[in-house]
Amino acid sequence: MCGIAGFYNPHDHYLKEKEHCREILTSMAQCQKHRGPDDSGLFLSEHGGLSHARLSIIDLAGGHQPMVKSGSGQTFAIVYNGELYNTGELRQELLGRGLVFQTSSDTEVILAGYMEYGPDFVKRLNGIFAIAILDTARNRLCLFRDRAGVKPLFYMVRGEEIIFASEPKGILAYPGVRPVLDKKGLNEIFSIGPARTYGCGVFKDMEELLPGHFLMCSAEGLRLKSYWKLESRPHEDSYEKTIEKTSFLVQDAVRRQMVSDVPICTFLSGGVDSSLVSAICASELRKQGKRLTTFSFDFVDNDRFFKANSFQPSQDRPFVDRMVRFLDSDHHYLECDNLTQADRLYDSVLAHDMPAMGDIDSSMLQFCSMVKEHNKVALTGECADEIFGGYPWFHKKECFEAHTFPWTMDLGARKVLLNDSFMEYLDMDSYVRNTYERSVAETPRLAEDTPVEARRREIAWLNLRWFMQTLLNRMDRTSMYSGLEARVPFADHKIMEYVWNVPWDMKTRDGVVKNLLRQSAKGLLPEDILFRRKSPYPKTYDTSYEKLLAGRVREMMGDSHAPVMQFLDRKKLEQFLLNPGDYGKPWYGQLMAGPQMMAYILQINYWMKTYDIELEQ
């Protein structure tokens, strides 16, 4: 994986200020160096520039970027962040058409494919990617993003110029760009966050290229085009055939995503998703005489403080132990203490360039940094719950009937600390309602659906468009902050396309959550793992952590220059700090309750102060 950035203006002449423009490209790459610490490079032409920070995974010697190729008197340059999982097939196809390759990298395959077929070549790609191609002969820039939105790509349009980068910080490094928040941005933080409306970059005038889209930039202007979308159609396979196809698709995705010129590892929580990915990887490596390396994560003394509840019915450790024995993996138990988790809240902001999922994010960031000490590539079980219907809101009657996002059904918890004038200004209810209705209206419909099945489709759509994006953002930023490539096999577009149309009865046959996935994994996992009740990503139950956060919030309250305090009601905040543990109702997802509200406020304050954010008047 890598960090990419650049700029383009069809009428500018960047070579007239060659050194200045190269300095800008260097700065844009340098601030994203954590994404690619192994190498860097830049390319400058008359109308555009590209920069790249590289994490070497495939073709370690020959994969330098930007990569430049010429043909028929034309010059093409590419920067690319991602991984292609059908490189071999595409290379053979292009070789058959007479193309010649100088490297074994997937980057060259993508660039050669563009040269041969044009922008529609993206439809042939199976992988995760954010791509920028400068086509100097046609004087255009093409930006591409993968179907699921695994890899990020932000951009900003200023007149005829477009600036882009893997992360907002790359754009903010461009001269004259300031981090500004308008009313929409504030609503994204306080009413929607830590989610983001898809396509929204939070900062004023900053956008994120939509998953499954490419953006053509030329003298004719900007043209956004969708090259892939989910389509609803009748599901005609029998239950037995559905299980068989699902099993093939999952195993095929995992095997493809094992491609690497450096050793891979897996995250292992002991749940069915990560255990299945690990089991497939272990089996494939065993054929090569190799042993899989696995990593699990927990909190110091969590066995002492853990409290079972409806969201987290059991600890992970006993199930991890079971899987380690089953896999015979080289396993590493990694832990995080309270102080580290609290300190990492600020690194989390730097990783995202905005507030994130509080300590749910900061602990993952710490986990990834520890994994990176051993490996550069990890496969994870992320996204299975969104695709196969594993979350509670797929099943609960109140969520099914709610006219809002099911992971944030009550905005009251978000409003509890805000001052009245700020709440009135935001009009949070209207913003959330309008955003929700706009999203639901985009659900791919099927005329044959019953009203109940149609609603199931809406819930599934919201999860893919919203909740999955939040977790993919988290996985990308927390891993790439330490230069770790985390892959997500369940987000393979072929799995998404197939499972999208499988009826709910098949997904949850016999009333078992995610039963389709479980049945498709039979024979690959022990039964007690296969049918383990879902337990989400761990969080600490140590009340000392709450006290630590409360102390930091009080310290913030004593800072007359704390920017977040202009939005908060001091009396409400003081009352809240008396016992934040009572605030047990999640305000986002399953895990973000009172302690995470404190963490989120601390993140907002740090973000506004560190980035010197301006509020639009």
Q: Can you say how many angstroms the Cα of residue 523 is from the centroid of all Cα atoms in its chain? A: 31
3-state SS assignment for residue 378: strand
Rounded-to-10 torsion of CA 441, 447, 453, 455? 20
Residue given tokens 């800072």 in the structure block: 559
Q: Can you say how many angstroms the Cα of residue 527 is from the centroid of all Cα atoms in its chain? A: 31
| Distance, CA of 108 to CA of 334 (rounded, Å) | 38
Rounded-to-10 torsion of CA 318, 323, 325, 331? -90
Beta-bridge mates of residue 71: 74
Query: Is beta strand 161-165 parallel, antiparallel or unpaired with respect to 74-84?
Result: unpaired
Q: Which strands make up the sheet holding 39-44, listed edge to edge? A: 39-44, 48-54, 2-8, 161-165, 154-158, 206-208
User: Is there a contact between 50 and 164 (Cβ–Cβ < 8 Å)?
Assistant: no
Burial of 535 (0-12, 13-18, 19+ CB in 10 A): middle
> Residue 313, preceding bond cis, omega within 30 degrees?
no
Ranges of beta strands (E only) in 2-73 are: 2-8, 39-44, 48-54, 67-71
Cα dihedral sign for 144, 146, 151, 155? Answer: positive
Q: Which of the residues 2, 21, 265, 336 is marked catalytic? A: 2
Q: Which residues of 216-240 are buried (b: 16+ CB within 10 A; e: fewer)?
A: bbbeeeeeeeebbebebeebeeeee
User: Is there a contact between 212 and 444 (Cβ–Cβ < 8 Å)?
Assistant: no
Beta-bridge mates of residue 615: 181
Residue 100 corresponds to which amino acid? V
User: Is there a contact between 428 and 415 (Cβ–Cβ < 8 Å)?
Assistant: yes
Paired tokens of 415: 């409003």
Catalytic residue check, 281: no
**Cα angle 321-528-532, degrees, rounded to a multiple of 5:** 95
Q: Which residues of 21-49 are buried (b: 16+ CB within 10 A; e: fewer)?
A: bbebbeebbebbebbbebebbbbbbebbb
Contacts of 447 (CB under 8 A, 6+ apart): none
Residues marked as catalytic = 2
